[in-house]
Amino acid sequence: MPIDHVLKLYSESIRSPYLHYGFWDEPEKIDPKKLTLDDMVQAQGRYIEHLATYIPEDVKNILDVGAGIGGNSTYLLSQGYEVDALSPDEYQESVFKDKYAGKVKFYRSKFENFDPDKQYDMVFQSESACYIEIEPGWKTAQKTIRNGGYLLASDYFLHHNDGSGDWHIKASHDERNYMDKAKEYGFKLIREYDQTENTMPTLDGAKALLERFIFPTVEFSSNYLDKNHPFILKVIKKAFGKKVNDKMKQISLLNSSDFKKYKRYMIYLFQKVDPS
Ligand SMILES: C[S@@+](CC[C@H](N)C(=O)[O-])C[C@H]1O[C@@H](n2cnc3c(N)ncnc32)[C@H](O)[C@@H]1O
């Protein structure tokens, strides 16, 4: 995988070292229409603080899988852990090189294809589990984690599939299948937390920002072209019309009630069971 341009766009526009949803301690008190990008970046900081409380005391070294642009690795280092990072993305590799100058070893690889040269106390997957194929992912986890070590996954999982082919269904792992494979590869679930409600204000806030800034800008540009350069508008519609329609359908991913209908945003702590 060379570069994930959507993730690159998030990192450059939001200017946050994180690529995850963030965590809101009191979601019921949030008015999404009043959220700013700074609020969201702060919630992202809170997400890693909360997630790190799930790391057991006997963990010293961590492989940050799907490490993004390094916000989580920086936090884990600040808490005294030894951290290596992994991602298949070229851009993220260059960010890590600039940020850490070799202090964090970076492996550019899909987790499924990773061939570890050592075993870790913990594999840490912050919103990257859904990108990793289920069975090959557990297979790699088995050889990457020491006996008694852990896999901490924080991600959304599909709990309901009505066969509608909704975007939410396409973009996540089936929870039951994920759990069955965990067991099959020797991983026992020892802690869990449903953080769906704590993560939803980010979706509602992103939708509100889109409705406030992006949609009016697109409408203005389209009206302007229609009035002054109708031929250019026609060419643009012909070239990009279908792609734009597909992207608009993907925007339904920002609908938190649809999210909850199909998915749960979970923290799962697994322990690798000693076969002896
Ligand atoms: C939503 S981002 C989360 C980034 C970071 N963990 C965070 O919490 O900010 C997903 C990450 O998974 C990475 N990724 C995508 N496919 C992957 C794979 N097959 N194996 C490992 N990482 C993958 C992406 O490049 C990206 O770094």
Region 235-259: what's the mean pLDDT? Answer: 73
Residue 276 predicted with pLDDT over 60:
no
CB atoms within 10 A of CB 5: 10
Q: Which of 20, 87, 95, 152 to probe ligand 1 with, by most ligand atoms within 8 A of CB?
A: 87
- Residue ranges covered by each domain of the chain: 5-199+263-272, 200-254
pLDDT at 7: 63
Distances in whole angstroms, Cα of residue 254 to Cα of each of 168, 249, 275: 10, 10, 43
5-199+263-272: CATH, from 1.10.1040.10, 3.30.420.40, 3.40.50.150, 3.40.640.10 = 3.40.50.150
pTM for this entry? 0.87
pLDDT tens-digit map of 207-231: 777 777 666 677 777 777 777 777 7
Element (H, E) at 123: strand 120-126
Is the pLDDT assigned to residue 153 strictly greater than 90? yes
Ligand 1 centroid to Cα of residue 125, in Å, is: 8
Residues having CB closer than 6 A to ligand 1 are 4, 7, 18-20, 65-68, 71-72, 87-89, 92, 110-112, 126-128, 131-132
pLDDT at 137: 98
Tens-place pLDDT, residues 83-102: 999 999 999 999 999 999 88
Q: Report residue 96 as tokens.
A: 């890590």
CA of 138 from ligand 1 middle (Å) equals 16
